[in-house]
Structure 1
Amino acid sequence: MAASGASLYLSNLSPAFRRDSTSSSLGNLKSTRISTSSWRLAVSTEQKPSTSTRSDFSERGRLDMGKDELEAVASAAATSEDPAVERRSLKEYFERSKELIIRSDGGPPRWFTPLECGSPLANSPLLLFLPGLIGGGLGLINQHRRLGKIFEMWCLHIPVMDRTPFTDLAKLVERTIRTENHRSPKRPIYLVGESFGGCLALAVAARTPDIDLVLILANPASSFSRSQLQPLIPLLDIMPDQHNVSLPNMLRLMTGDPLRMAMDSVLEGFPLQQTVGELSQDLVSISSYLSVLSDVLPRETLRWKLQMLKSGSAVSNSRLHAVKAQTLILSSGRDLLLPSQEEGERLCRALPKCEIRKFSDSGHFLFLEDGIDLVTIIKGAGFYRRRKYNDYVSDYMPPTPTEFGKIYDENRWINDVTSPVMLSTLEDGKIVRGLAGIPSAGPVLLVGYHMLLGLELVPLITNIYRERNILVRGIAHPLTFMKIKQGKLPDLSLYDTYRIMGAVPVSGTNFYKLLSSKSHVLLYPGGMREALHRKGEEYKLIWPEQAEFVRMAIRFGAKIIPFGTVGEDDIGKVVFDYDDLMKIPYFKGEIEELTNEAVKLRTDANGDVANQDVHLPGILPKLPGRFYFYFGKPIETEGRKLELKDREKSHELYLQVKSEVQKCIAYLKERRENDPYRNLIPRLIYQTIHGFTAEVPTFEL
């Protein structure tokens, strides 16, 4: 993230935009970066900057910067990798919006890039932000810094008094897309459309099915005909000129609920006194903002804007069949202007490559709310890519401390309830408590037993990351990334955390890339069949006969760490398994339907492991016991490439790993019998005495 303090400001008649002086009002437009200096205003690139204003931060401006300033910018970009989304008050947003509206020159629509976006990663895709009803282009003001790290970002500014028809706006965006696609044909172009901008994005996507687009639509106004805004059009037609009551009321809905936002801030840990102070400022700023907008947005302007919404909604809906782009819908549950959640579901059914993420407690201006981080949403949905297809290794961005902290807090209850014991083995064979035995340098391949329903995943991944700062990349079933068709399988949003933490769909290509990049890789040879085992199969390894992973590990000299996990039998007991379910026609049909929605694996395998039917066994919960993890001594493969050509030798190594996993499980099952804190009640008593953050002891090593 760029250094704090850089912000988006305005020129003395218009935002500092760059456009070709020879182009028409809707001609080829180029982006520029808006510079800042306290509250001074940057000047248009068509004018000479004053000496008191910092130089334009466009690509041309960068070449003119001094060495010290260039180094400062590079240092800021390198050392600010983690910041959470910057929390701006409504007051700041409204002040900038007022300035933008008042000082706009009324010229044609144009693109700009905020200075605070900084410098993106190499080969970053282009992101075009298409704004909502007012059209200022500031809707992502809380997101600029993080988005600017991974996208080349342009925002569309539509002056308030502009009267460009919707179809011409769509042509403008289309020309920009085609120009940029011609310049970089291999990179995707992202269209982030908010409200009205969502209609514009859909219309443009329908006009450019030949270009690789990714649509991210936040509360798209394609539902305008069913919205609270539709009745305003005839009302404005009959309202006398001296009355302008409808606009402030509408804008109050658009600003959201400051009191709810304040309470959310208190719950997130912000001091009450600070929050109340900010709330009072926000209420004053809202009143001022509405007053200004009521003056600069007369009835005719509002009517034009609403007619644009109506036109945009009609055009986008009529062309939905032509939209082929990958699409992510973001829907708010408390949108007082539009029926956004219902519309999101409708669009998901209508569009061929569409997913939805719901925000039940959010309002219309989703991107301005606390806790909404568009970069995290994109990463979690698996929507970030630099080429035509997602490369799960080169396109992956590890979680920031803020992202991991949120994930850990949301799943902390699992660690609290199970109090996991982590044991590992040093190179000299000594067993120690903790994870010191896991090598820091990769490639490392962790191979182990998959507990019932994968209950061990959260404690395993989070504790390795917290204790050793090692991100373990899990090889996961494809159903956590895609569905063959919509149906009864869980929504893909359920697995967003997996993707943020680095899970990749199982494939030889992804396995190869992870090891070649020297990653720490988590592999369960038993896969789904082991995690959905039958009654009486607790701690039974259900592995394929073929040595699937050994040769790849040898090829890259990866260290193989066998590990065992124990504790599922103290959490629950399978009382109704797959065999029982298949005897009942109703459940048999459900299993077949679920299985047909998921990508099928191991279709050429033999034995029990080939059964990849998707189902949920009946489990009888128990009073929570304790989880135990034991990572065995690392098995070196470096220098054993000659065995790669000998199937018999590689199979011997495979059997050795399997045997070591079984030994780890047996060790834990035996030693946990001597753990005085294996059951929940003794652990609670211990933590009551020593504090709930205290580490609970276990058996002697």
Structure 2
Amino acid sequence: MAATGFHILSAVGLRKHKHSLGVSLPPARRLSVSVSSFSAEQWRLERLGDSEKRSANNFWDYLEAARDFISRDCGDDGPSRWFSPLESKARCDGAPLLLFLPGIDGNGLGLVRQHQKLGEMFDIWCLHIPPTNRTALPDLVGMVETTVKSENQRSPGKPIYLVGESLGACIALAVAACNPEIDLILILSNPATSFGNSSLQLLAPLLKLLPEQLDLAFPALLSLIPGGPLKRMIAHWARGLPEKETAANIYQDLVTTSTFTSILADTFRKETLLWKLKLLDAAALFANAHLHLVQAHTLILSSGNDQILPSKWEGKRLRKILPKCEVRSFKDNGHCLFLEDGIDLVSIIKATSFYRRGSHQDYISDYIPPTFSEFNKSYGVNRLLELIMGPVFLSTTEDGKVVRGLGGIPSEGPVLLVGNHMLLASDKISLPGQFVHERNINLRPLVHPMMFTRLRDGLLPDVSVYDTLRMMGSVPISATHLHNLLSAKSHILLFPGGIREALHRKGEEYKLMWPEKAEFVRAAAKFGAKIVPFCGVGEDDFLKVVVDYNDQIKVPIVKEVLKRVTEEGPGVRGSVEGEEGNQDFHMPGVIPKWPGRYYYYFGKEIATGEEELRDRDKAKEVYAEVKKEVERCLKFVKQKREEDPYRPLLPRLHYHLQHGLLAQVPTFPF
């Protein structure tokens, strides 16, 4: 593996702001950190650019950077200060400001594995608190607050992100509580607001009994960090490498650990840790006392295996107190979440729709398509379902020829793909991923807003279950968002039947339940968009509805529960009368059937233009044409699938055994 390097610049990136920061900036320092890079498939590099050419830093890079920071601070009673972790040329101009507030270590390098990817979305500043620094909590909060106010005045239309871990999370909450009028977004990892319920409170009395130099403290602490020495050594054995290679790797880790921990133990003396614990206690008390004042949009990242703080329960507690709070849980991870393998803060921010550049969320300009690794991780969970469903994709070229795959879909947008919703919206599993995989097109599905927000907690599943759909580009359905997507020349996925069609009743398979208004046609005509009607067939080969909505509302208690559940999420089509406007949430009772196969058939595109925009009657004619084409596609596929020898699951599995899992299984003649 080739080695490359980047530089962490202390204060240089902020020197032009030194008057507005209100802090004393030390002389610029340069710290070289070695990281690894790797080569990948040409498709990956062409599609995703430089961000995927860089490998994330590892745990040892954090230790090396911390060693240099700490060794330079030995004997330095200088103030806490900001530093920029990236070269000025690597920073994202015009991006929101991200302030990283460290945990008890105070070095500000907790995001070292995330810097490169974050730098493509944010202007990053990190807070560094030297080990010998004894800045009191009010002064630390005041320093961050001064920076926040100054940057808000300089860029009033942009949000400011406060990313804090442990102690830093408490400081972020304190700043947000004191400045509710400033547009802040909080991302808090294992907040130390739970300090009062942690075993750390028992540590201070023990420290007072120990000698001045805590020679064994840091090796013990490091062994608790997932990704640290102990876990790395175990991982070497689990890899199954030859014994000599395994022994060499473990020996190298032991040497490296010994070097780093000796330096850290020389620096983190007893009085330093005692001060940090006192600071943690004060920060937790202040933050908890002011939680009711926090109005900022907040994302809590809770580790289920945190050995230092009871973070698993703390996330749930804060979720109930903070009005604009979401929680994401990581059940197998420990306290130092950002340093662990598999944790990508950028992916988390994108999947939770927490990224915005302006005062309001813009699902077009703020959307960042998934990288190759993000796509594989998000889409990978559907691989088994894809194998079972064995989806067939057919499309129609401009000359009317039906082809296997998506070759008939127009490459240039705006394109509006309009089709029927299959049961439980299972069509969202295959379509977005297939468009990326086959055509390198980011499909933007218009979905129910309940996938993004809740009016109150209740029986609906947590919005976190829809993170994959958001990562892949889903947008809450509205006339404004449709207009903006068409303006951006996107490929848009629209199901006019909504959840009424996705949660249909017994005997309603493949029945279109579209509203009468042809508004999506007039919206498409405004931008000259092409409309591609399509159908999805196959749900009746997998599930059978045995208890539907009509059965459920006959039971008074169940009817009342369904009413409350529906009120938990934002409504749509409130003005539409009849069954098409019935968007009540419920879960149909279904029984599985022996798996068959899914089919998607995209018909011939329909052009739109000024005539449909000016003439409502003409728009209605096009609307009727789209609906008729979807019904034609449904009829065609339902008939032709009877000729598919690979419609049952077993013949497809047999074909894969002979030709490989990635082989395209044949289908009916067309």
TM-score, normalised with respect to structure 1: 0.88
Match of 2:317 in 1: 346
Residue 550 of structure 2 corresponds to residue 579 of structure 1: yes
Distance across 2 between alignment mates of 1:270 and 1:522: 47
Match in the other structure for 2:398: 427
Assess, with a 3 A threshold, how the Cα gap between structure 1 residues 255 and 465 changes in structure 2: closer, same or farther: closer
Measure, in 1, the Cα distance between the counterparts of 2:17 and 2:542.
Answer: 70
Give percent identity, aligned residues only.
51
User: Map of 1:181-580 to 2, 5 A cutoff?
Assistant: 181-241=152-212, 248-254=219-225, 258=229, 260=231, 280-580=251-551
Letter in 1 for 2:22: G
**More displaced 10-residue stretch of structure 1: 491-500 or 267-276:** 267-276
Residue 641 of structure 1 aligns with which residue? 610
**8 Å CA contact retained: 1:595, 1:613:** yes
Query: Residues 570, 22 of structure 1: CA spacing in aligned structure 2 closer, same or farther, 3 A cutoff?
Result: closer
What's the offset of the Cα at 1:437?
0.6
Residue number in structure 1 paired with 2:125: 154
User: Residues 108, 272 of structure 1: CA spacing in aligned structure 2 closer, same or farther, 3 A cutoff?
Assistant: farther
Once residues 497 and 235 of structure 2 are traced to their aligned partners in structure 1, the CA distance between those partners, rounded to angstroms, is 43
Q: Contact 1:214–1:327 (CA<8 Å) still a contact in 2?
A: yes
Cα 1:237–1:541 change in 2 (3 A) is same
**Equivalent AA in structure 1 for residue 114 of structure 2:** Q
SS at match of 2:453: coil
Q: What is the Cα deviation at residue 117 of structure 1?
A: 7.5
Stretch moving more, 313-322 or 286-295: 286-295
Deviation at residue 236 of structure 1 after TM alignment: 2.2
CA distance in 1, matches of 2:510, 2:69: 64
- Aligned residue for 1:27? 22
Pair 1:685–1:312, CA change in 2 (3 A): same
Distance in 1 between residues matched to 2:555 and 2:390, nearest whole Å = 38
Q: Distance in 1 between matches of 2:247 and 2:582?
A: 58
Shift of 1:585: 2.8
Q: Which residue number in structure 1 is paired with residue 108 of structure 2?
A: 137
Match of 1:303, SS state, is helix
Equivalent pairs counted in the alignment come to 657
Compared CA separation, residues 156 and 511, structure 1 to 2 (3 A): same
1:670 corresponding residue in structure 2 = 639
Amino acid at match of 1:325: A
Distance 2:153 2:503 in 1: 49
Shift of 1:34: 6.0
Q: How many angstroms apart in 2 are the aligned matches of 1:437 and 1:374?
A: 37
Mapped to 2, the partners of 1:128 and 1:261 lie a distance apart of 30
Query: Once the 2 structures are TM-superposed, how far is the Cα of residue 249 of structure 1 from its aligned partner?
Result: 3.2
Give the AA of the match of 2:593: K
Q: 1:677 to 1:605 in 2, by over 3 A?
A: same
Shift of 1:253: 2.4
Paired residues of 1:480 and 1:495 also in contact (CA < 8 A): yes
* 8 Å contact from structure 1 (residues 19, 110) kept in 2: no
SS at match of 1:666: helix
Tell me how far apart the structure 2 counterparts of residues 22 and 485 of structure 1 sit (CA, whole Å). Answer: 43
Looking at structure 1, the residues matched to 523 and 17 of structure 2 have their Cα atoms a distance apart, in angstroms, of 58
For the residues of structure 2 that align with 1:421 and 1:77, how far apart are their CA atoms? 27
Q: Please state whether the residue corresponding to 1:7 is helix, strand or coil.
A: strand
Per-residue CA deviations over 1:269-320 (Å, capped at 9, x if unaligned) read: 9999988765553444333333222221111111011111111111111111
> What residue identity is the alignment partner of 2:657?
T
Mark the CA change 1:167 to 1:599 in structure 2 (over 3 Å): closer, same or farther.
same
Tell me by how many angstroms 1:405 deviates: 1.6
Q: Distance in 2 between matches of 1:85 and 1:485?
A: 41
Tell me how far apart the structure 2 counterparts of residues 438 and 276 of structure 1 sit (CA, whole Å).
55
Q: Deviations over 1:443-470 (max 9, x none)?
A: 0000001000111112111111111111
Cα displacement (A) at 1:87: 3.6
Structure 2 unaligned spans of 5+: 35-44
Structure 1 pair 426–80 and aligned structure 2 pair: CA distance change class (3 A)? closer
Determine the structure 1 residue equivalent to 2:37: none
Equivalent in the alignment of 1:656: 625
Unaligned runs of 5+ in 1: 40-75
Aligned partner of residue 450 in structure 1, secondary structure: coil
Amino acid at match of 1:141: V
Q: Distance in 1 between matches of 2:442 and 2:19?
A: 50
Take 1:314 and 1:538, find their aligned partners in 2: how far apart are those partners? 57
Amino acid of the residue matched to residue 446 of structure 1?
Answer: L
Deviation at 1:91, TM superposition (A): 2.5
Tell me the CA shift for residue 422 of structure 1: 0.6
Paired with 2:221 and 2:579, the residues of 1 have a C-alpha distance of 62
Offset of residue 346 of structure 1: 0.7
CA distance in 1, matches of 2:480, 2:240: 44
1: CA distance, partners of 2:664 / 2:116: 38
| Contact 1:33/1:113, CA 8 A, preserved across alignment | no
CA deviation map 1:498-531 (0-9, x unaligned) = 1111111111111001001100000000001000
CA separation of 1:27 and 1:250: change in aligned 2, threshold 3 A: same
Number of the residue aligned with 2:40: none
Question: What is the alpha-carbon distance in structure 2 between the residues aligned to residue 449 and residue 243 of structure 1?
Answer: 67
Deviation at 1:268, TM superposition (A): 11
Rounded Cα–Cα distance in structure 1 between residues aligned with 2:240 and 2:64: 26
Structure 2 vs 1, CA of residues 508 and 274 (structure 1 numbering), >3 Å: closer, same or farther?
farther
Instruction: For 2:318 and 2:252, locate their aligned partners in 1 and report how far apart those are by CA, in whole Å.
Output: 38
Report the equivalent of 2:138. Answer: 167
Specify the code of the residue in structure 2 equivalent to 1:393: I
Letter in 1 for 2:376: G
Cα deviation, 1:339-365, whole Å, max 9, x if unaligned, reads 111111111111010001111111111
Q: Distance in 2 between matches of 1:177 and 1:654?
A: 51
Q: Secondary structure at the match of 1:216?
A: strand
User: For residues 153 and 678 of structure 1, do their structure 2 counterparts lie closer, same or farther at Cα, with a shift above 3 Å needed?
Assistant: same
CA deviation after TM superposition for structure 1 residue 92, in Å: 2.6
Partners of 2:526 and 2:71 in 1: how far apart? 65
Q: State the Cα distance separating 1:239 from its structure 2 match.
A: 3.9
